[in-house]
Structure 1
Amino acid sequence: MPSKFIVAALSLALGLTHGGYGLAADEPPAKPIAKRLAARAASSEDLLARTVFQALVGEFALQRGDAKLGSDAWTDLAQRTRDPKVIARATEVAGFARQYDRALELSKLWIEVEPNSTQAKQTQSSLLVMTNRLEDLAPQLTALLEQDKANLGSNLLHMNRMLTRVSDKKAAQALIDRIAAPYDSLPEAHFAMAQAASNANDNLRALNETEKALQLRPDWEMAALARAQLQARQSGKTAIDSLSEFVSNNAAARDARLTLARLLIAEKRYSEARQHFDRLIKDNPDSPEVIYPVAMLALQQGDTTTGRKQLEHLLSTDFPDKSTIHFFLGQLDQEQKKPEMALEHFRQVTGGEQYIAARSRAAQILLQQGKSEEARELLHNTRGGTVAERTQLTLAESQLLREAGRHNDAYIVLDSALSTQPDNPELLYEAGLTAERIGKPELLETHIKHLLAIKPDHAHALNALGYSWAERNVRLPEAHDLIAKALSLAPEDPFIMDSMGWVLYRQGKLAEALQTLERAYKIKADPEIAAHLGEILWTLDRKDEARRILKEAAKANPDNEVLAGAVKKYLP
């Protein structure tokens, strides 16, 4: 089927053939009328053939990817016919061919032929932007604004979008100032100047112009939001105060109230944020943009009842990411010991950022239900789209096997993955830890040293190797140095503190070891830290304290192997 541009060319050609060719008043009747009409018909047929042929050449060249030939054909046709539709197409094709100077010349011809065409002027303005000729753009934009006084405000707001491609933001700001200044009684003019200033990182000017816009139109929500955004760059409190005042005067301003609530969350003022969210829910009970942050805030505050209610409500709305909602609902069910319901939600996570995590959690549930092979099959049937996702699947499968007590199989899975990703830090780290669990510390050293060659400041890798040596009571000075470096990189990590306490214990520095382990246990009452702390207390003959810590930890963590070993040793 011929394109609309070929049809236009055909129409033009037919117009040349059948229209505007009457007898001139002063034409002498030297030839019979029949001969004159026949000669003119032949001439028109030649013109029609040339026009159709050239239009076809231009379009077929474009279809075959020859933009230059297509542009040449259409440009010649535009210059010969001076038809505005043909010129418009020629201008478009020249732009497509990145012949911007030619496109600009064609746009001038277009305006010459059709001086009142808004489309022609808009096209020329866009081309001036693309060719970075801002000095020629001001008259064009001014003319466009004057030509459409009925939409002056919205056109002023559109100017910055037109200049998005301009790399010199200061020049763009100067242009907007020049064009908008005559309309300083309009809030849109000040807002346009504020946007241009913000784009040029002139934040003080942007803020001043936004304030002027709001003085002219105090209930303008878009300006209030822009002002708060600018203020938040310097002070969250200032932004909150200005939006609070605006919302108190404009109670129905949904977006402003929503932004205010989010700013309050960022400042950890949760109870105030909750009040605004409650109002938003009341006014917008079915708005996903409101329901989702309300649900997240409720969950963050531990209000699982409200969180669940809002998440379930989201499933009945047009919220686009239902997978995320199912993931959070699955988490809630898992935490509340409802594995079947959790599994159902996790199975409905079909994509997105939570997809791999949901499949991994579903596999964990199946494992806990004694369906280890079904769990592994679920992971095997999950296809990761990226290297990171495939890595997460491998880690999930290895964890699954470890929890099933199949440490050797877990190592095989990790080692197999390393054959295709030998420098993957996550795989190297997990392979090292798993190797030690199967009694192959030499493999731990191989993997962790490889990892440290890639990432010398990997705190957990430094800690893993240092702890391995400390646990085996070998190379203690080196172990201490590794753990000390890890602790300098992560000074508040309780597990690295535990390693430091343990290596100090191995070195006979009991007082330092005790102090370090007590600090670690205060941060996190982990069962392995409890086991180490209990052993040191026992060694220091503080047996009652050792018994208390070991018993409490064993009660809370009955299945931990390291803790069980300490209990068996000291509390037979």
Structure 2
Amino acid sequence: MAFTERACRPALLSLLLALGLSACATPQPAQQAASEVAEADTPEAPEVEPSYPSQSLSEDMLLRFLVGDIALQRGNTQLASQAWAELAQKSSDARVAKRATEVAIAAGQLNQALDACARWIDAAPQSPEARQIMVSLLIRANRLDDARPHLQALLSMQPKEVAPFLLQLHRLWDKQTDRKAALKLTQELAAGYDGLPEAHFALAVAYANADLKASSLTELDRVDVLRPAWEPSLLYRAQLLEDQPDAQRAFLEKAVRAAPKSAELQNALARSYAEAKRYPEAAAAYDKAQELAPGDLESLVGAGLIAIEQRQFDKANALLSAAVAKAPRQTRNLHYYLGVVAEEQQRWPDAVRWYEGAEGELKSMADRHLVRVYAKLGRVADAQALIAKMPVDSADARAEKAQTEAQLWREAKDYARAYSVLTDALKASPDTPELLYDRSLIADLMNDLGRAEADLRRYIELKPGNAMGLNALGYTLANRSTRLDEAQGYLEQAITLEPENPVIIDSLGWLRYRQGRLAEARELLQKAHAKLPDPEIAAHLAEVLWQLGRKDEARKVSTAAQQLDPRNDVLRETVQRLGMQP
């Protein structure tokens, strides 16, 4: 799990990170401004302006200066780096060494940068900037032992930075860093700061990164003694429980009681609920995070996505739109989800705008939805042009393109053409499960039970134990045939695999209706509808209520569903057939 970082980075660490060191991928605790430290009253050591040597500018040095600068202007960074490296060797001036270091870094010449930076430190040993750059270079070279004296010197020069630096020390390591070496360095840097919770926190992260979880937890226990209910420690302990979701959730529930003003902990608890599909509780936790930190980006986004799951589209639109307005560059992936919301609300122009603006890994999904929206708007040529641009560089890409084109013709109600597209794709890639599943749906729409059943049976052979495949076959048999006992066998297998899936609960409820077991059907369909107020589920529930004589309830359910999707074919057919219109 990722943690949102809201506080500003302390000065010492920020420059080191800016020099190209990426944060440790795992684990990464939330950033928190450190509180006062034992040496808070100790004055910071001011950076001493070096005493620059008196040195004549020879013709040779002048020539090298010119060569270095002209090479830089012309983009020849390697020549520039070499010229400045030679200047640094011939001069004891800290300014020359600094410039040589900067040019070598820009040129990607790590060894030259290390040599020049060492000369810079020799000329200006009290320069924090020189030490910071040296640390970044040594870590990049995986020379952590050599970095230690420079880090210790920095901490001596800036005692107020000790606590915040230790809190975020793990952010210096990248994916190539030797974890055992990082642990050793952390132990050396934390020595002498036993009374600082940040020191024990740094050790906890280092131990966990070195796969020493028990030692990590021991250090967190020490943190809890020194600073009870400290947010970074609570969040990190929860992260260490990510492979035990139930235990993690129980810990977070306890943690939010211990630290009730922590928006970060509320967000973490909300994520845990969301992963368990406990959406109402997740929504409540995100709402609490918003109360504690109005405008917090993570809770805005999280609550918005949960609202989509609960089909609360007005709420989702408001929350996700607020997130995009707050941080447009960070939320480009939300364009896809805002497109989904607009599509569900049948705001077709808005759906087009959001889907067309989607970027990154969700772009292909947005394009598939956009084809469907174009089809609903009658923009078939635009949909075909978009499909033509889709990649076909792999079997998966070709299958996805065929599925998208079939979706176009399905929306246009040209079922024969949709079936043909999928059939052609299956000739090129026989037994592709996704293509078989989609073709079975088209065959069902064509009232061709034989072909729908054949494709679904083959799908189940290819993906045995797949709940959705079992559900699709069971529902098709229940809806299109009198083989209800056979349908029951498939649906009972599916519900055993996914007992809380509203789609499967709906299928089982519809089977009970077809079996004449109306009371059971109503109970199941009400449960499914409460979990997922989908128009087709609503149509099934309304029909059962109607047959039970509860006609006012049936009209209420169907009317609400029509407001969500007045064009849904199953719902419209049900309302017209039964005469549910008031």
Q: Which residue of 2 aligns with 1:213?
A: 223
Looking at structure 2, the residues matched to 393 and 332 of structure 1 have their Cα atoms a distance apart, in angstroms, of: 23
Q: CA deviation at 1:149?
A: 0.9
Q: Which residue of 2 aligns with 1:289?
A: 298
User: Among residues 465, 469, 482, which one is paired with 1:493 in the alignment?
Assistant: 469
Superposed CA deviations along residues 304-345 of structure 1, whole A, max 9, x for unmatched, are 5644554565576546346245324313313xxxxxx34444
Letter of the 1:293 counterpart: G
Looking at structure 2, the residues matched to 146 and 286 of structure 1 have their Cα atoms a distance apart, in angstroms, of: 39
Letter of the 2:271 counterpart: R
Superposed CA deviations along residues 86-129 of structure 1, whole A, max 9, x for unmatched, are 11122333444554344333333222222222222223323322
Looking at structure 2, the residues matched to 318 and 127 of structure 1 have their Cα atoms a distance apart, in angstroms, of: 33
Superposed CA deviations along residues 472-496 of structure 1, whole A, max 9, x for unmatched, are 999x9x9999577336363651477
What SS does structure 2 have at the residue aligned with 1:275? helix
The structure-2 alpha-carbon separation of the partners of 1:464 and 1:303, relative to structure 1 and needing over 3 Å to count, comes to closer
User: Among residues 167, 175, 181, which one is paired with 2:185 in the alignment?
Assistant: 175
User: Among residues 173, 187, 196, which one is paired with 2:197 in the alignment?
Assistant: 187
Q: Which residue of 2 aligns with 1:242?
A: 251
Work out which of the two has the higher radius of gyration on C-alpha atoms and give 1 or 2: 1
The structure-2 alpha-carbon separation of the partners of 1:249 and 1:409, relative to structure 1 and needing over 3 Å to count, comes to closer
2:428 is the alignment partner of 1:450: yes
Q: Under a length normalisation based on structure 2, what TM-score does the superposition of the two structures give?
A: 0.63
Q: CA deviation at 1:163?
A: 3.1
2:167 is the alignment partner of 1:197: no
Q: How does 1:421-436 map to 2 (within 5 A)?
A: 430=422, 432=423
What SS does structure 2 have at the residue aligned with 1:349? helix
Superposed CA deviations along residues 279-320 of structure 1, whole A, max 9, x for unmatched, are 233344444432332233334335456445545655765463
Q: How does 1:69-80 map to 2 (within 5 A)?
A: 69-80=79-90
Letter of the 2:353 counterpart: R
Q: Which residue of 2 aligns with 1:257?
A: 266
The structure-2 alpha-carbon separation of the partners of 1:109 and 1:272, relative to structure 1 and needing over 3 Å to count, comes to same
Looking at structure 2, the residues matched to 228 and 67 of structure 1 have their Cα atoms a distance apart, in angstroms, of: 47
Letter of the 1:355 counterpart: A
Looking at structure 2, the residues matched to 479 and 377 of structure 1 have their Cα atoms a distance apart, in angstroms, of: 31
- For structure 2, the residue ranges without an aligned partner over 5 or more in a row are 1-50, 493-503, 516-539, 548-557, 559-566, 574-582
The structure-2 alpha-carbon separation of the partners of 1:239 and 1:489, relative to structure 1 and needing over 3 Å to count, comes to closer
What SS does structure 1 have at the residue aligned with 2:355? coil
2:370 is the alignment partner of 1:364: no
Superposed CA deviations along residues 379-412 of structure 1, whole A, max 9, x for unmatched, are 5368857558897676444433344454676588
Looking at structure 2, the residues matched to 302 and 131 of structure 1 have their Cα atoms a distance apart, in angstroms, of: 51
Superposed CA deviations along residues 322-381 of structure 1, whole A, max 9, x for unmatched, are 6245324313313xxxxxx34444334332225314422422322xxxxx3x34335536
2:388 is the alignment partner of 1:377: no
Q: How does 1:33-112 map to 2 (within 5 A)?
A: 47=57, 49-64=59-74, 66-112=76-122
Contact 2:316–2:341 (8 Å) recurs in 1: no
The structure with more helix, counted as a fraction of residues: 1
Higher relative contact order (CA 8 A, sep 6+): 2
Q: CA deviation at 1:158?
A: 4.3
The structure-2 alpha-carbon separation of the partners of 1:487 and 1:232, relative to structure 1 and needing over 3 Å to count, comes to closer
Looking at structure 2, the residues matched to 463 and 323 of structure 1 have their Cα atoms a distance apart, in angstroms, of: 26
Q: Which residue of 2 aligns with 1:519?
A: 489
The structure-2 alpha-carbon separation of the partners of 1:88 and 1:495, relative to structure 1 and needing over 3 Å to count, comes to same
Q: CA deviation at 1:268?
A: 3.8
Contact 2:399–2:435 (8 Å) recurs in 1: no
Looking at structure 1, the residues matched to 427 and 408 of structure 2 have their Cα atoms a distance apart, in angstroms, of: 26
Q: Which residue of 2 aligns with 1:136?
A: 146
Contact 1:190–1:213 (8 Å) recurs in 2: yes
Q: CA deviation at 1:66?
A: 4.5
Superposed CA deviations along residues 36-66 of structure 1, whole A, max 9, x for unmatched, are xxxxxxxx6xx45433321121233345555
Looking at structure 1, the residues matched to 467 and 266 of structure 2 have their Cα atoms a distance apart, in angstroms, of: 40
Q: CA deviation at 1:151?
A: 1.4
Looking at structure 1, the residues matched to 344 and 457 of structure 2 have their Cα atoms a distance apart, in angstroms, of: 43
Contact 1:111–1:121 (8 Å) recurs in 2: yes
Looking at structure 1, the residues matched to 278 and 271 of structure 2 have their Cα atoms a distance apart, in angstroms, of: 10
Looking at structure 2, the residues matched to 463 and 276 of structure 1 have their Cα atoms a distance apart, in angstroms, of: 38
Contact 1:160–1:192 (8 Å) recurs in 2: yes
The structure-2 alpha-carbon separation of the partners of 1:382 and 1:122, relative to structure 1 and needing over 3 Å to count, comes to same
What SS does structure 2 have at the residue aligned with 1:115? coil
Number of positions where the alignment pairs a residue of Structure 1 with one of Structure 2: 444
What SS does structure 1 have at the residue aligned with 2:191? helix
Looking at structure 1, the residues matched to 213 and 352 of structure 2 have their Cα atoms a distance apart, in angstroms, of: 46
The structure-2 alpha-carbon separation of the partners of 1:222 and 1:384, relative to structure 1 and needing over 3 Å to count, comes to farther
Looking at structure 1, the residues matched to 324 and 83 of structure 2 have their Cα atoms a distance apart, in angstroms, of: 55
Letter of the 2:426 counterpart: I
Contact 2:356–2:367 (8 Å) recurs in 1: no
What SS does structure 1 have at the residue aligned with 2:356? coil
Contact 1:166–1:172 (8 Å) recurs in 2: no
The root-mean-square deviation of aligned C-alpha atoms, in Å, is: 4.7
